């Protein structure tokens, strides 16, 4: 099964590492090796939007090029808006990108791999699937 990898995980993986690699980066490497990583265009945009130098931008863009975007459908945007409204009515705030990831996860049944604790709050109100390393759906 594919796994939607959120910006928070990519950010950990693309940083210069001091003092060793995080467990999340190790899991991401395993997902890459197993060809289970699913990229979404809005995540790619978030990753690249935070890059300061043109040279780093080019390097990161090239590194991410091997991960094609999952095509998004109109229904994904509609469901994301519905999820936004549901969570807002429960006092839970989030970004449009986060709710789009939730909507795609709901449609595809692909879990989301993230360190962003907001997704745990969303999962309390939405039928979103979160990837838990070492849990169901993680073979290694």
Complete domains list, the chain, with CATH: 3-123 (3.40.50.1010)
The set of residues, in sequence order, having a beta carbon less than 8 Å from that of 76 and lying 6+ positions away, is 100, 103, 104, 107
Q: Structure tokens of 80?
A: 């994301």
pTM: 0.92
What is the 8-class DSSP label of residue 113?
E
Dihedral sign of CA atoms 16, 31, 95, 68 in order: positive
Torsion of CA 49, 121, 77, 1, to 10 degrees: 90
Tens digit of each residue's pLDDT, the chain (140 residues): 999 999 999 999 997 666 668 999 999 999 999 999 999 999 999 999 989 999 999 999 999 999 999 999 999 999 999 999 999 999 999 999 999 999 999 999 999 999 999 999 999 999 999 999 876 656 55
């Amino acid at each position: 099964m594919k796994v939607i990898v959120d910006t928070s995980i990519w950010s950990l993986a693309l940083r210069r590492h001091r003092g060793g690699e995080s467990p999340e980066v190790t899991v991401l490497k395993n997902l890459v090796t197993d060809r289970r990583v699913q990229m979404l265009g809005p995540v790619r945009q978030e990753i690249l939007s935070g890059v300061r130098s043109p040279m780093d931008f080019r390097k990161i863009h090239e590194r991410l090029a091997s991960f094609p975007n999952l095509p998004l459908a109109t229904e994904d945007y509609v469901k994301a808006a519905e999820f936004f409204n549901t969570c807002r009515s429960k006092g839970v705030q989030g970004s449009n990108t986060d709710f789009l990831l939730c909507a795609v996860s709901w449609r595809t049944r692909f879990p989301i791999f993230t360190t962003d604790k907001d997704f745990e709050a969303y999962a309390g109100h939405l039928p979103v699937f979160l990837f838990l390393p070492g849990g169901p759906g993680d073979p290694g």
